[in-house]
Amino acid sequence: MTSRIEAPGPRLGTEPAPLESHQLFNARHAEAYWQQATRCIDLVRRKVAEVERPFTGARPEELRGRFEAIDLDAPLGELRPALEELEHVYLDDAVYFHHPRYVAHLNCPVVLPGVLAEAILAPINSSLDTWDQSAGGTFIEQSLIDWTAERIGLGEDADGVFTSGGTQSNLMALMIARDHHGAHQDRPGGNKQQGLPADHQRLRILGSELGHFSLQKSAAILGLGYQAVMPVATDADYRMDPQALKARLEECIALDLIPIAVVATAGTTDFGSIDPLEEIAALCREHGIWLHVDAAYGGGLLCSRRERHRLAGIEHADSVTVDYHKTFFQPVSCSAFLVRRGSDLRHVTHHADYLNPECQALAGTPDQVNKSLQTTKRFDALKLWMTLRIMGADALGEMLERVMDLAGEAHARLSARPDIEVLLEPPLSTLVFRYRPEDIDLDDASLDALNAHVRTALSRHGEAVIAATRVQGRRYLKFTLLNPETRVDDLTAIVERIVAHGRAWCDGAATSPAHAAAS
Ligand SMILES: *Cc1c(COP(=O)(O)O)cnc(C)c1O
């Protein structure tokens, strides 16, 4: 501590003990950051090289014990033992999304520029709420919002903000749709000032029955309740049926209900199905209803020259959700919410004297907090920025095309098998199917139990991580493909293991009372 200034003489009270500040990131410790970051990266490098399976299959009760021995009030003092401990409690049994046989959820393998951005944004620690905490970071975020809005075709007045994910983006969409409706009533300050309108029980949100559950959650948070979400039936391809939407809208009119938003999904979580956006937009225009397009999953199509046409009609949306941490291959979190008319974001604006006074907005200071539910906000935009500056959008689009091709190929292979029932030719990159042995007659309940068992067994053995879902009440298995390095052989190998675990279950179950009762 060479620069420490000695007190000139005896002082009143006690001198504070010298601060253990050698862990503070600053100019003196930038060298330590570099050295220690190298060790962290080295651990990751070694671990990823070692990993043979996407997951060890550890159960919660097997991992819980490791944490009981750790006293958080007894720090280890330095990096090396902390990394050793972390390897034991976390990395040894982490779920590895880079592994070609991780094919479960929409969490993706990540591109290097996005990962490297984390090494920059964490130490600099910009907070993207106000200009005076982010400076150029604000323009990086804004440029990416403008870039995304332009790819969607939202027009000159579009605006938006980065969010923590599709869930927050959908909440913003429904909040703005609700307050947009509230603003048309004779109530100064609208919902923001007055709270919910007297007719709030009659407000309705119409979304495909396969829409994301964050719609229900948002409705509850917004004081409308789950009851406000009206499911709209889907067609044989799991897309919202415009005729059903039309009928729902007429039903609203007949029942004196007030539809405030239609949510179209561009890429349903289970099927990847893309609702017919043109037709839905036409109905929304006709009825003067807010159209939100949830493109959390399908948003990556914006980067694909070959597949962009699948999003045709998205340009009519009043608002859009895009998750860069899904089909743009960015590390969690990285997501955005966009609106056609930037002025609609005023519904989330609140001016605080200490942070973002109104005079600052009037003077043209670009404070992102004026458009956001969050205050302190990560500089997630830097990840997409680095990705576009290094790789470009075409490269991302090609990665998505690769996984779409893979899904198509896997669909062809699986459909050819008599013992696999595939539900749908994949519109994006998921494949929903179930194992149904052709030589054993199993009722629905037994098929459910069989498929549930198969999924658990795969994960337990660490052979693959796959997802599951229910379709019309029945259990199905799901591949969500986001890894452009997964090969169709990986998938057929997983199917072989599914069959092996399934046959073993059938053999065992044949003697069990449950099966005797079922057959
Ligand atoms: C994943 C997903 C969401 C939720 O996004 P998060 O980033 O997980 O919050 C919303 N809608 C759809 C269609 C999704 O697939």
Residue 178 CB neighbours (<10 A): 27
25 pLDDT exceeds 60? yes
| pLDDT mean over 443-457 | 95
Q: Whose CA is nearest to atom 4 of ligand 1?
A: 166
Q: Ligand 1: residues within 6 Å at CB?
A: 106, 165-167, 170, 212, 214, 265, 267, 269, 294, 296-297, 323, 335
Question: How far is 372 from 159, CA to CA, in rounded Å?
Answer: 12
Q: Which of 140-144, 316-320, 362-366, 464-468 has the lowest mean pLDDT?
A: 362-366
- On whether residue 307 sits in a domain, the answer given is yes
Domain match, 358 and 220 both:
yes
| pLDDT mean over 434-460 | 94
pLDDT in tens, 302-347: 999 999 999 999 999 999 999 999 999 999 999 999 999 999 999 9
Q: Cis (ω within 30 of 0) for the bond into 429?
A: no
Question: Atom of ligand 1 at shortest distance to CA of 266?
Answer: 13
Residue 87 CB neighbours (<10 A): 14
Tell me the helix, strand and coil percentages in the chain, rounded to 5.
Answer: 50, 15, 40
**What's the pLDDT at 453?**
95
In the Cβ-directed half-sphere of 247, how many Cα atoms lie within 13 Å?
A: 9
Instruction: Give, as one character, the DSSP assignment of residue 20.
Output: -
Pairing status of strand 319-323 against strand 335-339: antiparallel
Q: Whose CA is nearest to atom 3 of ligand 1?
A: 166
183 band by pLDDT with thresholds 50, 70 and 90: confident
Rounded to the nearest integer, the mean pLDDT of the chain is 93
Question: How far is 325 from 344, CA to CA, in rounded Å?
Answer: 25
Question: How far is 236 from 422, CA to CA, in rounded Å?
Answer: 13
pLDDT in tens, 203-220: 999 999 999 999 999 999
Question: Atom of ligand 1 at shortest distance to CA of 265?
Answer: 13
**What's the pLDDT at 186?**
81
Question: How far is 252 from 235, CA to CA, in rounded Å?
Answer: 21
**CATH for 259:** 3.40.640.10
189 pLDDT exceeds 60? yes
Q: Which residues contact 43 (CB under 8 A, 6 or more apart)?
A: 83, 87, 91
pLDDT in tens, 74-100: 999 999 999 999 999 999 999 999 999
Q: Whose CA is nearest to atom 15 of ligand 1?
A: 269
**What's the pLDDT at 108?**
97
pLDDT in tens, 230-266: 999 999 999 999 999 999 999 999 999 999 999 999 9
Residue whose CB lies within 8 A of the most ligand 1 atoms, among 209, 212, 373, for a mutation test: 212
- On whether residue 455 sits in a domain, the answer given is yes
Domain match, 375 and 401 both:
no
In the reported structure, the alpha carbon of residue 438 is separated from the centroid of ligand 1 by a whole-number distance in angstroms of 36
Q: Which of 5-9, 35-39, 262-266, 360-364 has the lowest mean pLDDT?
A: 5-9
| pLDDT mean over 474-479 | 97
CA dihedral 36, 38, 40, 43 (to 10 degrees): -140
Residue whose CB lies within 8 A of the most ligand 1 atoms, among 106, 311, 335, for a mutation test: 106
pLDDT in tens, 279-292: 999 999 999 999 99
Question: How far is 374 from 381, CA to CA, in rounded Å?
Answer: 15
**CATH for 483:** 3.90.1150.170
- On whether residue 401 sits in a domain, the answer given is yes
Structure tokens at 286: 């006709």
| pLDDT mean over 363-369 | 91
19 pLDDT exceeds 80? no
Question: Atom of ligand 1 at shortest distance to CA of 269?
Answer: 15
Domain match, 331 and 458 both:
no
Beta strands in 127-272 (DSSP E): 159-163, 203-208, 229-232, 258-265
**What's the pLDDT at 52?**
94
182 band by pLDDT with thresholds 50, 70 and 90: confident
Domain match, 417 and 303 both:
no
In the reported structure, the alpha carbon of residue 326 is separated from the centroid of ligand 1 by a whole-number distance in angstroms of 9
Which position has the higher pLDDT, 13 or 217?
217
Residue found under tokens 């029942």: 255
Question: Atom of ligand 1 at shortest distance to CA of 212?
Answer: 11
Which position has the higher pLDDT, 151 or 353?
151
Q: How far is CA 16 from the centre of its chain?
A: 47
Question: How far is 396 from 303, CA to CA, in rounded Å?
Answer: 6
Domain match, 347 and 486 both:
no
**What's the pLDDT at 519?**
33
Residue whose CB lies within 8 A of the most ligand 1 atoms, among 294, 311, 334, for a mutation test: 294
Domain match, 382 and 405 both:
no
State which of 391, 418, 441 marks the end of a domain. Answer: 391
Domain match, 199 and 329 both:
yes
In the Cβ-directed half-sphere of 276, how many Cα atoms lie within 13 Å?
A: 18
| CA distances from residue 374 to 18, 284, 357, 371, 473 in whole angstroms, order as listed | 36, 30, 16, 9, 37
Burial class (CB in 10 A: 0-12, 13-18, 19+), 117: buried
Helix or strand or coil: residue 173? helix
CA angle 47, 41, 77 (to 5 degrees): 100
**What's the pLDDT at 514?**
46
Residue pair 300/326 in contact by the 8 Å Cβ criterion: yes
Question: Atom of ligand 1 at shortest distance to CA of 297?
Answer: 15
Domain match, 186 and 234 both:
yes
In the reported structure, the alpha carbon of residue 212 is separated from the centroid of ligand 1 by a whole-number distance in angstroms of 7
In the reported structure, the alpha carbon of residue 356 is separated from the centroid of ligand 1 by a whole-number distance in angstroms of 30
In the reported structure, the alpha carbon of residue 394 is separated from the centroid of ligand 1 by a whole-number distance in angstroms of 23
Instruction: Give, as one character, the DSSP assignment of residue 497.
Output: H
Closest residue by Cα to residue 372 from 9, 143, 130, 37 = 130
In the reported structure, the alpha carbon of residue 327 is separated from the centroid of ligand 1 by a whole-number distance in angstroms of 11
Q: Residues of 369-406 as b/e, b for ≥16 C-beta within 10 angstroms?
A: bbbbbbeebbbbbbbbbbbbeebebeebbbbbbbbbeb
Phi, psi of 33 (to 5 degrees): -60, -50
Residues spanned by the domain of 368: 127-391
- On whether residue 488 sits in a domain, the answer given is yes
State which of 391, 415, 439 marks the end of a domain. Answer: 391
Residue whose CB lies within 8 A of the most ligand 1 atoms, among 172, 229, 239, 269, for a mutation test: 269
374 band by pLDDT with thresholds 50, 70 and 90: very high
- On whether residue 24 sits in a domain, the answer given is no
- On whether residue 65 sits in a domain, the answer given is no
Domain total of the chain: 2
Q: Whose CA is nearest to atom 5 of ligand 1?
A: 166
| pLDDT mean over 181-189 | 82
In the reported structure, the alpha carbon of residue 140 is separated from the centroid of ligand 1 by a whole-number distance in angstroms of 24
- On whether residue 73 sits in a domain, the answer given is no
Whole-number percent of the chain with pLDDT over 90: 88
Alpha helix (H) residue ranges in 294-429? 324-327, 358-362, 381-390, 393-415
Domain match, 272 and 374 both:
yes
Domain match, 332 and 297 both:
yes
**What's the pLDDT at 13?**
59
Domain match, 426 and 313 both:
no
Question: How far is 310 from 325, CA to CA, in rounded Å?
Answer: 20
**What's the pLDDT at 21?**
72
Question: Atom of ligand 1 at shortest distance to CA of 268?
Answer: 13
The set of long-range contacts for 20-27, using a CB threshold of 8 Å and a minimum separation of 24, is: 25/123
- On whether residue 86 sits in a domain, the answer given is no
6 band by pLDDT with thresholds 50, 70 and 90: low
| pLDDT mean over 51-69 | 94
Domain match, 153 and 268 both:
yes
State which of 341, 367, 391 marks the end of a domain. Answer: 391
509 pLDDT exceeds 90? no
